[in-house]
Amino acid sequence: MGMARTIFVAFVLGIVTIVLMPLQILATRFGWRLAALLPYYWQRIARWLVGLRVRVTGTPAKPPLLLTANHISWLDITVLGSVMPLSFVAKAEVAGWPVLGTLARLQRTVFIDRTKRLQTGAATAEIAQRVGAGDVMVLFAEGTTGDGNRILPFRSALIGAAGAAAGTGTITVQPVAVTYTRIGGIPVGASDRPGLAWYGEMPFVAHFSRLIGRGGIDAVVSFGEPIHFTPESDRKKVAEECFESVREMDELARTATSYSGKGDRLFSPQPKNAKGTGSPAAANLAGQAGEGIVDRVS
């Protein structure tokens, strides 16, 4: 059953990709608005096929916007990409991966080779240009993936792209946390997260097949407090603020796994830092969850 489902999902996604690819290539070539929308619709279809259910807490800021997120798995691309039109920043080797590299290019991903300073500078300039032009870019600021049980410190280097985009003005850097809360209706625990995570030398096909066969996956996307980035901003300080915000939102979302009715409400106990000792974003999220405010289902 698991293999049959995997084949079905891969087949349908392949057909959808073949149909949309020529239009996306044209849209990208001529700068049509459709170039940002087609990947979003593709990710919505992929999310439905894979069995992802995504809940969104908080509100994304208006462009120019750079999102700094944690990174757990290839699933993150579909989770975030199905919430709103956006593009990603990825390591250069992704461009050469079979299938995934093609999909990344169609998503208008910016590839960056951190081992070559000249290329890093060119990629940073492209990120700055894209953000400044109104594209929403996602930076997986940890620089890698782990086993999903903890968030690694954020790297500050590429956040400097925000400074370049700011020029003499201001753009917004916004932390966003991706948290997987349930698999097949069962809360995700510490022993389950490494199975969701895609890291090290894990083969993609085997990981894809295993996740598809496990049933529905619930994810929470938490948008934190926007940070106004100016040419005078300290990128290291901004990276640290984003890291702390994402870490706290992720921790809170992990506890908010009790659903009511058809799952349209997200509840959480009031955390200790909700009264101002933690980040404003986490405190705001905590207040919403503690009061039982309805989170929108994207």
SS3 readout for 264-278: CEEECCCCHHHHCCC
Q: Please list, in sequence order, all residues whose beta carbon lies within 8 angstroms of the beta carbon of residue 29, skipping any fewer than 6 positions away.
A: none
Q: Where are the domains of the chain?
A: 2-246
**Of all residues in the chain, what percent carry a pLDDT higher than 90?**
43
Tell me the torsion sign for CA atoms 34, 35, 40, 41: positive
Q: Are the C-beta atoms of 217 and 180 separated by less than 8 Å?
A: yes
- Global pTM? 0.82
The sign of the torsion formed by the CA atoms of 155, 250, 292, 44 equals positive
Give the CATH fold of the 2-246 domain.
Glycerol-3-phosphate (1)-acyltransferase (3.40.1130)
> Residues 77, 109: contact at Cβ < 8 Å?
no
Task: Indicate if the pLDDT at residue 40 is higher than 90.
Answer: yes
pLDDT band at 264 (very low <50, low <70, confident <90, very high): very low
Helix, coil or strand: residue 239: helix
Phi and psi dihedrals of 54, rounded to 5?
A: -115, 130
Q: What's residue 190's pLDDT?
A: 81
